[in-house]
Chains A and B, each alone.
Chain A
Amino acid sequence: MTLWMNITLLKRYHSNFIFWVAYAIANAALMLLFVPLYSASISAIGTKSIVSFILIGASMLPLLEETVSSVAGDANFQLWSGIINYSFTTPISRYIYFSLNNLSEVTISLMIYSPIYLTAIIFAFNYLTPLGILLSIVCFIIGFFSMLQLGLMIGAGMLLFKRVEALEGIVILFITFLSGAFIPLQVLPSSINYAALFVPLTSSLYLVRYYLIGSSLIAPVYLMWIITISELIVFAVMAKFIFRAAERKAEKIGFNYI
């Protein structure tokens, strides 16, 4: 339903769609130019393809940042417009409604970022194995759902505290610098590595790289899996709880007061 709406809108604004594709291609091209300069400093991190290493991080990061921010953006828009009264009187669970909306936006972003993924795959082609691809997809999905829960928490925060852009900024800042997407954590002090392990996205991103291109990990593989899955469970429980609290507040005071 929400995917239908987003694709309908994407198709309607042709020029914007062309710009998106151009952006993705330019992004991939710039990354390719940037990699030789960057690769010398990160050659010690242990990976079969530095190009793919960077491209995976560079494409997963904005995608998952969008996962975090789009729920809050949607909640904000719905409150401002009053659409929330209509989405909240539909039979779909409000939690599911926001999740689906988010999922549809990320699905479209996946399509937009596809040139970058394709480039990453071309450079990693010789190292890909069916099991590696499968496990990396699983890790990506778990990472995505963790970020979605984080986004739902921030979206619910919008209902609870009216404005939470600053919190969103802090979360995205930590993810940008400590997820290892741009700056490999292996080149940073080990104390930061331990802290970074608990930053959402870090473990799933490292596992994706590990299974696709054999990049080294910052902790034993079993521990990375435990952290990845635990993050999803903890975030899911917290998101459900905070979302329900926000829903109860809205039902108590009325949306016009939010």
Chain B
Amino acid sequence: MENLAVRIRNLSKIYENGGKVTKALKNINLDIKEGEILGVLGPNGAGKTTLINILATLLIPEKGTIDAFGIDVLKESNKLREIIGYAGQDSEKSAYYRLTAFETLVYFAYTFRNVKKEDIEKEIRYISKKIGFSRKLNSQFSTLSGGEKQATVIMRALVHKPRLCFLDEPSKSLDPVTAKKFRAFLKAFVRKENITTIVTTHNMSEAEEICDRIVLIDKGRIKFIGTPLEFKNIMDYTDKITLDMHLSRPIISKLKKIPSVVRVKQTTRSTVIYTNKVNLSLLAVTSILKNENLEPKIIVRSATVEDAFVKVMENGK
């Protein structure tokens, strides 16, 4: 059996602001396995950041218990801070702006016990090289771009090799190339160092690419926990076949009769066929189109986590 890193039970958090009460988290129960990357998904205001901030000891809940590596997070927060890394959302102003990126990383790493200067400097250079940040290491934090600041903040969370790492929308300000490098690095690094990582993101392809499991939160409640594949399986189709053509009703009727087709949707310029056996459906669709002397452009795309997310959110409304 895999070791459990974090065990959350009946966690509830309420915010009171100007007489207005907001239930940010409602009775959350969650187990996080050691070494896994857990993606926390959800719409804005769902409670993702609140959950991370409670785990990172920045907030205290009204109710519930959290155990992380045998540490009672709510009672022994000082002890927990020895083993965590944290990267928040707002990276723009989140470091002493006159220090360089390198100095920022060294400064915060020094707050951890048993951190050796040589080791940390070596680690900073290694990570920055991996994510393509080396040439900016000696630039002052205030002169860095948004993405570079974000990269510094992410490195700060990882450089001391924590046992438990929280990354709140880590690739938010990263350009696509850096984001890709970052994802590849993150996955390899946390595997190698066995770092249990909790990532919140709105980027569904990122969740699909790096997360071992995902948890979907909406209005403070957990809607789904499982692997990205299991998440996609909540949908009644596995693939979408898109034709760049509006079809007549008789043809649509024929398409709907294909056994593996779940449904067919039409827009003014295209037709989308949802299927759970893409190869069989594709053969049948092309055969029908050939008989009708039609040659539309055909695009086949697998269902994504984003599709599943949209479905769950729409069903919840």
Contacts and interface: CB of A to CB of B under 8 A. Distances in A.
Interface in B9-58: 15-17, 50, 53, 56-58
A90 B111 contact: yes
B82 interface: yes
B243 interface: no
The dominant DSSP class at the A interface is helix
30 contacts: A1-B107, A1-B110, A1-B111, A81-B97, A82-B88, A82-B90, A82-B93, A82-B94, A83-B93, A83-B94, A83-B96, A85-B94, A86-B86, A86-B94, A86-B108, A89-B58, A89-B84, A90-B81, A90-B108, A91-B81, A91-B82, A91-B111, A251-B59, A251-B60, A253-B15, A254-B15, A254-B53, A254-B59, A255-B58, A257-B17
Interface residues of B, number: 32
Interface of B: 15-17, 50, 53, 56-60, 78, 81-82, 84, 86, 88, 90, 93-99, 103, 107-108, 110-113, 156
A12 B90 CA distance: 27
A80 B94 CA distance: 9
Given A91-B82, A251-B59, A251-B60, A86 B88 contact: yes
B78 A91 contact: yes
A255 B50 CA distance: 11
Contacts of A257: 15, 17
A85 B96 contact: no
Interface string A221-254: 0000000000000000000000000001001111
Contacts of B99: 5, 8-9
B112 A89 contact: no
Interface string A6-36: 0011001000000000000000000000000
Interface of A: 1, 4-5, 8-9, 12, 80-83, 85-86, 88-93, 97, 248, 251-255, 257
B107 to A, nearest CB: 5
Contacts of A93: 78
Nearest to B166: A89
